[in-house]
Amino acid sequence: MSEPDETPVSNPLRSELSRLLSQVQEARSQVPGMAGPLSAIGDGQAWQGPAARRFHNQHLSPTAQALYVPLDRLEDEVRVARDAQPAEVSPEQAELIRQQWGL
């Protein structure tokens, strides 16, 4: 009796994580940049002085951190999860992955 064809197939979980990573990157690119306001206020050209530095340090900088750090962390975590998956699996493994993850 011959063995069934075990030609590897694309890992459906890795493919799904790749799609998710693309979506996260697209969402990240849609978030307005704060580099301009951050550099213009405080010691920049738009507004200078102690009140400007205080506003920069107490409001602008924390807002930028609260916005960008979680998005960057999410992108990194999805990339790590995707890269931990093999690119190819057996057809049987692919079917089990689809069932397990509802893909």
Phi and psi angles of residue 43, each rounded to the nearest 5 degrees, phi first: -120, 5
Q: Is the pLDDT of residue 102 over 50?
A: yes
Is the backbone of residue 5 left (phi > 0), alpha (psi -120 to 50) or beta? beta
Q: How far apart are CA 74 and CA 43, in angstroms?
A: 31
**Structure confidence at residue 3 (pLDDT):** 54
Q: What angle do CA 66, 69, 49 make, to 5 degrees?
A: 55
Q: Is the pLDDT of residue 16 over 80?
A: yes
Averaged pLDDT for residues 3-32: 89
Q: How far apart are CA 48 and CA 42, in angstroms?
A: 5
Q: Is the pLDDT of residue 60 over 80?
A: yes
Give per-residue pLDDT as tens, 27-38: 888 877 777 777
Q: What is the pTM of this model?
A: 0.71
Which stretches of the chain are assigned E, i.e. beta strand?
9-10, 41-42, 47-48, 88-89
Q: How far apart are CA 78 and CA 48, in angstroms?
A: 40
Phi and psi angles of residue 93, each rounded to the nearest 5 degrees, phi first: -65, -40
Give per-residue pLDDT as tens, 76-97: 999 999 999 999 999 999 999 9
